[in-house]
Structure 1
Amino acid sequence: MRRPLLPTLLLACSLALPALAAEPAKTPRPVKRICVNVKDGSRSVQGTDLVIEPGEKVKDAVAVDGNVIVKKGAVVDNDVVAVRGRVVLEAGARVKGDAVALGGDVRVPTGARVDGNATALGGKLKVDKPEDVGGERVNFSLELNGDDLVKELLGKALEDDQKCHILDDEDDKDDKDV
């Protein structure tokens, strides 16, 4: 049986609340890394936006510290994920899997299609027509004094892992740090 996600997130946010309240607000440090991994039709970037152009077909699309933008006529066969960024679909774009933003918004306008779930954690889910999302629509955000605690929690969780790893196509076992 699958455990519900909402109680787990509420627990995590409530545990992080005292730590977040005790620390002064930090200004985000600029991200200077750009990493691109094109393997088996998948694309991923860090520190910049990932744009899937019209007519392109990719397996998965992932951006860390950037947005994923799927243009009209582009198709993503599996999932689109933005960590600390937004997932933006244009009318006529299609995602055959899930569209997920962790610490950002998911935008599905009229004419775009997500066959799976559309999920925004720490951001807003904007779906013009509910029938344009084939699975569940999940939106979870928790604000305290104008600060989104889910975004803060995600930021703290990802703060320590600031290295990019680009896999070598010839030997997946050897990671190269950038």
Structure 2
Amino acid sequence: MRRPFLPTLVLACSLAVPALAAEPAKPARAPVKRVCVNVKDGSKAVQGTDLIIEPGEKIKDAVAVDGDVIVKKGAVVDNDVAAVRGRVILEAGARVKGDVVSLGGEVRVPAGARVDGNAVALGGKLKVDKQEDVGGEKVNFSMELNGEDLVKQVIGKALDEDQKCHILDDDDDKDV
């Protein structure tokens, strides 16, 4: 049985919002460029760079934080694809058997690509060439005020608050 992805995602985002309202503004600091890769149980995750799923490659989940996930023609993702402050880009001939989600970026599903689950863009644009190429719901939520996307700002602030956040690999799990 497949676990519901979207309710968990919405809950996590809603829990971050109250913390943002109470925090005073902090001085801006230079962005930290980090790359963390986790290939655990057939899944891949990166931070600070793009994740490219190559033709013929078959993985479970794909996640990029501060980067894009690009699923090339002929690649298959068995579960979900997510980009936080990045885009999810499928090429024609790519397939995602679960959901595709972008927080603070866009989702592109061109004609000939296939998403069996939901396609969700929060704080960005959802571009689906053929509606039938997405098997689930198509959700696009973006709110602009004076040319600034408020949803993208909330997501960015939530992530900036916790700069200690990183992707764990197998060695990090053993130390906890």
Query: Normalising to structure 1: TM-score of the pair?
Result: 0.82
Deviations 1:66-90 (A, max 9, x none): 0000000000000000000000000
Counterpart of 2:92 in structure 1 is 91
Give, in angstroms, the shift of residue 173 of structure 1. Answer: 4.2
Mapped partners of 1:79, 1:156: distance in 2: 24
Please give the root-mean-square deviation of Cα atoms over the aligned residues, in Å: 2.8
After superposition, give the CA deviation of every residue in 1:111-166 in whole Å (9 maximum; x if it has no partner). 00000000000000000000000000000000000100001000111112223242
Would you tell me which structure has more strand in proportion to its own residues?
A: 1
Stretches of structure 2 lacking an aligned partner (at least 5 in a row)? 1-5
Which residue pairs with 1:168 in the alignment?
170
SS of residue paired to 2:168: strand
Unaligned residue ranges in structure 1 (runs of 5+): none
SS at match of 1:81: strand
Provide runs of 4+ in structure 1 moved above 6 Å: none
Q: 1:44 aligns to what SS in structure 2?
A: strand
Partner of 1:103: 104
- 1:32 Cα deviation (Å)? 1.2
Is 1:156 aligned with 2:157?
yes
Structure 1: distance between partners of 2:167 and 2:91: 30
2:80 counterpart letter in structure 1: D
TM-score where L is the length of structure 2: 0.82
| Alignment-derived partner of residue 3 in structure 2 | none
1:27 deviates by: 7.0
Alignment CA distance shift 1:28-1:65 (3 Å): farther
For residue 61 of structure 1, what is the aligned residue in structure 2?
62
Q: Which residue of 2 aligns with 1:127?
A: 128
Distance 1:174 1:116, change over 3 A: same
Percent identity (aligned): 73
2:148 corresponding residue in structure 1: 147
How many residue pairs get matched? 164
Mapped to 1, the partners of 2:102 and 2:29 lie a distance apart of 19
Matches within 5 A, 1:22-41: 29-41=30-42
